[in-house]
Amino acid sequence: MTTRPSRRTMIGLLGTASACGLVPGLAVPAAAGDGSGPVPPGLAPGGELDQYVADAAAQDEFSGSLLLTHRGRTVLARSYGMADRGRAVPNGPDTLFALASVTKLFTAVAVAQLAQLGKIAYGATLGSYLDGFPASVADHVSVHHLLTHTSGLGDFHALPGYEAAAAGWTTPEQTMRGITDLVRRSEPRSAPGTEWLYSNSGYHLLGAVVEEVTGVSYYDYVRRHVFAAAGMTRTRFLTRPEWEAGRNIAHPYHRDAQGRWTDAVAQARYVVGDAAGDAFTTCADLDRFGRHLWRHRLLEPGTTALLLSGKIPLVQAATVPGDGTGVPARPDYQCYGPIGSLVAGRWSFQHGGGSTLGVSTAIEMYPESDWNAVILSNYEGTVVQSISNLIRKLITAG
């Protein structure tokens, strides 16, 4: 959910953007394993992770689903809390959750697929594809800048007039066109390539570029070429009326001033998500996406390596803020979509998303050790990041 500037774990800002081509020879398992091999006790059912999530749910700090897989088999799958408190519908493995910014991974793959076909060039400027932008943007912001959050364009949710305009959009087409028009009239917050600035506007424009070069809507393109190609049979973009009516769709909850849980679906100001956020999926579908991505089933191997290579080193505190998980800091890099982290000589890739209205999501991929973790929650808060931190600690300790 991204109805206004959202709560995300921001890694930090850069002074000057620089390229550093990493992970060209990422060692990825050639095929899914047979399920054998060691599983750290802390990750097994009844272990430290299982207990941590159960305790968070018991304290009403976590509501959602968790899926942890190793070598293609399920190690831990848990669901807690209510998808719809009003109708007493519990969360379960088939519950659809709003993804918030994790949706950007689908957009990044769509761009990579089209670059692979020669229809998009990473170094090409925005003006090569979209009209009406001022020269300072059209002639200087590149696809590379948009993918790496170095375009300087910031967040369209914070633009004057966004909420009023979004309340009047009734179709996906109006949503895409309306956001593009708002961004087209906005002023960049910094010159392209000079700083890392998380950019919903940039990823929305990537979706508009996909539409321009393919001649089909962004929604249709990712449905056919990303969701279907990855076997994500449950994943889709839902309209707000569908969100309100569906029994298997998690409603987002946040606490009001009196501390009571509030259903935030009605507070959404838009009719549907876009290329920057809010596709809906299940844990199993997002796990499939991760495995298809790093097993080169969505892109050719060379294009996968390009997408997953670190482009921008991200400034990070010396230690991870205390959350009880004891996770050390690690070098992080902005890739074309995900964040890449180097821990104990091995790469992991992740993306999170969230909103203070009540969405918190994360996918963590560990190609070289063949682990995937997906956490989808319909509560606001930082517990999903704490769960991700604990998973990282237990996987990389072995």
Q: Which residues are catalytic?
A: 101
Please state the three-class secondary structure of the chain as a single string: CCCCCCCCCCCCCCCCCCCCCCCCCCCCCCCCCCCCCCCCHHHCCCCHHHHHHHHHHHCCCCCEEEEEEECCEEEEEEEECEEECCCCEECCCCCEEECHHHHHHHHHHHHHHHHHCCCCCCCCEHHHCCCCCCHHHHCCCEHHHHHCCCCCCCCHHHCCCHHHHHCCCCCHHHHHHHHHHHHHCCCCCCCCCCCCCCCHHHHHHHHHHHHHHHCCCHHHHHHHHHHCCCCCCCCECCCHHHHHHCCCECCCEEECCCCCEEECHHHCCCCCCECCECCEECHHHHHHHHHHHHCCCCCCHHHHHHHCCCCEEECCCCECCCCCCCCECCCEEECCCCEEEEECCEEEEEEEEEECCCEEEEEEEECCCCEEEEEEECECCCHHHHHHHHHHHHHHCC
